Amino acid sequence: MDFASFLIQTLNSLQYGLLLFLVASGLTLVFGIMGIINLAHGSFYMIGAYLAFVLTSATGSLFAALALGIPLALAFGALLEWALFSHLYKRDHLEQVLLTYGLILIFEELRSLLVGDDVHGVDIPAIFSASIPLSDVLSYPVYRLVISVVCIVLAVALYFVIQRTRLGMMIRAGNHDRVMVEALGININMIYRVVFALGVALAALAGMLAAPISSVFPNMGSHVLIISFVIVVIGGIGSVWGALVAALIIGFVDTFGKVLIPELSGMVVYVVMAVVLLWRPEGIFKKG
Amino acid sequence: MSKMLLEAKELHTYYGASHILHGIDFHIRQGEGIALMGRNGMGKTTLIKSLLGIVRPRHGRVMVCGDDFTKAPTYRIAQRGIAYVPEGRGIFPNLSVRENLQMAARAGVDGQREWTFERVMATFPRLGERINNGGWQLSGGEQQMLTIGRALMTNPDLLILDEATEGLAPLIALEIWRIVKEIRKTGIATMIVDKNHSAVTSICDRAMILVKGEVVFDGDSETVRDNPELIQKYLGV
């Protein structure tokens, strides 16, 4: 591998890992704080991608699609939490799995009814459609760099909210002891709703950003869901920081695995997970 | 008479099939201090949790400042000026000392902000030394101070302390009692559960004794203090 292709793979790994982080951060927060296993989380990624397709077709611009899609995703998340997930907190994991698996089927069916089963593409916005030449034959698309930058900005913002704001303190406190948080006069259910809606919006945003490079297709959420669970488990349930590190590890392992050992690339990620779990059964970063 | 803060009528609370509280009537007025006494397993903590809505009573009513809060969520009861220091402390170990205090900061029911971060620091100088430490790094006594300080940050009208000195070294326990007396002087009503009968009865004006989920005594704490037979009968091991 020459330097230019090494650089390209590194940038791809980074971009893929960061995108996965957007999905996994919401999953780990919802899992860690509310104790909910949400199998439908990948569907939010799928919904985001389809939102990007539908809204970009309607408005003619991915930016307009993002401006409309993000508030829609937040509202959808809050509604879903209020209508369904808020009833799941005290239930056991089997019931959570049943409901959220059912949701996957419902979301896919609705997607099929509303948009159909065809594969779609979303155009890269014109101002980001250029490529940066890296060698005589190799170049790197600007749009992928933009995705990475957006993800980094969001990761920093998320870190700031969780580590430096009162809301973040309440979220972390709720991760440890929800009754005590309530006894301090804090409406923990509202905190849960905010966290859930935020998680949905981040996953949908990941789908919207990915739509122009991955195309938009049925069941696109399922692969992302599985990888996201791998990330949550490797990073430590409930740890956003852990999710970031784990997502980057997975991004690199998966991308370079496909290049260096293509025959085994499908399983490299799981081998990494197995090794991490043998070394640290609770994930790299423990809860909290 | 001063304003009624918290009142309960005919509380019956169950844990599954076991009947824990058998029709308890309870009230506490502004500025009052109540020692809630009784042997282990008599329902003291259950009474506190029923008052706060952490455990739902099957029958009976809970009133806060005259309004019905029987079905209200815990946070709304807390927002009406009731702060809780639970048994086993309940600090957030994954937050720093500063964050434990900051996350709870709130004006009181009447908008009072007498308990600020600075005042809590002045009351608990030891916490100031550990302000950036994680909650998990604190000793038992420091954790207790942090929980009390955190409760004060909500500017409460009523402070409920469940076994605040349990498991603490005698000198640290003395320090806690000194602080509780100081808090009493500021006019905050207190409800205290503690094994140290002489300390609670000297701090509180009223005492209430529970036996098997029923109130067997409700009166002056002096009566309890000066009556060894009463203590022997209801509280002796």
CB distance B76 to B69 below 8 Å: yes
The reply to whether residue B95 touches residue A184, judged by beta carbons under 8 angstroms, is: no
Q: Does B63 touch chain A (CB under 8 A)?
A: no
Q: What pLDDT, on a 0 to 100 scale, did the predictor assign at position A137?
A: 85
d(C-alpha A278, C-alpha A162), whole Å? 29
CB distance B162 to B44 below 8 Å: yes
Among candidate residues A70, A99, A93, the one with its CA nearest the CA of residue A208: A70
Q: Smallest Cβ distance to A169: which of B84, B93, B103? A: B103
> What residue numbers bound the domain in which B94 lies?
4-235
Among candidate residues B81, B52, B49, the one with its CA nearest the CA of residue B65: B81
Q: What pLDDT, on a 0 to 100 scale, did the predictor assign at position A286?
A: 67
What is the domain-level CATH number for residue B189?
3.40.50.300
Q: Does A176 touch chain B (CB under 8 A)?
A: yes
pLDDT digits (tens, 9 = 90+) for A198-230: 999 999 999 999 999 998 999 999 999 999 999
DSSP A63-95: HHHHHHHHHHHHHHHHHHHHHTGGGTTTS-HHH
So where are chain A's domains?
14-218
d(C-alpha B34, C-alpha A124), whole Å? 69
d(C-alpha B162, C-alpha B167), whole Å? 13
Domain tally for chain B?
Answer: 1
The reply to whether residue A188 touches residue B103, judged by beta carbons under 8 angstroms, is: no
Q: Does A180 touch chain B (CB under 8 A)?
A: yes
Q: Smallest Cβ distance to A166: which of B52, B86, B103? A: B103
Q: What pLDDT, on a 0 to 100 scale, did the predictor assign at position B231?
A: 86
What is the value of pTM for the model shown?
A: 0.88
Q: Does A86 touch chain B (CB under 8 A)?
A: no
- Tell me which of B45, B56, B77, B94 to substitute to probe the interface with A (most A C-beta atoms closer than 10 Å): B94
CB atoms within 10 A of CB B221: 21
Is the backbone of residue B163 left (phi > 0), alpha (psi -120 to 50) or beta? left
Q: What are the residue ranges of helices labelled H in chain B?
A: 44-52, 74-79, 97-102, 117-123, 125-129, 140-152, 170-185, 197-203, 221-225, 228-230
Exposed (0-12), middle (13-18) or buried (19+): which is A145, by Cβ within 10 Å?
Answer: middle
pLDDT digits (tens, 9 = 90+) for B96-118: 999 999 999 999 998 889 999 99
What Å distances lie between residue B110 and A183, B81, B106, B150, CA to CA?
A: 19, 9, 11, 19
d(C-alpha B63, C-alpha B72), whole Å? 10
Q: What is the ipTM of this complex?
A: 0.91
- Kindly indicate the confidence band of residue A3, based on its pLDDT and cuts at 50, 70 and 90: confident
CB distance A115 to A46 below 8 Å: no
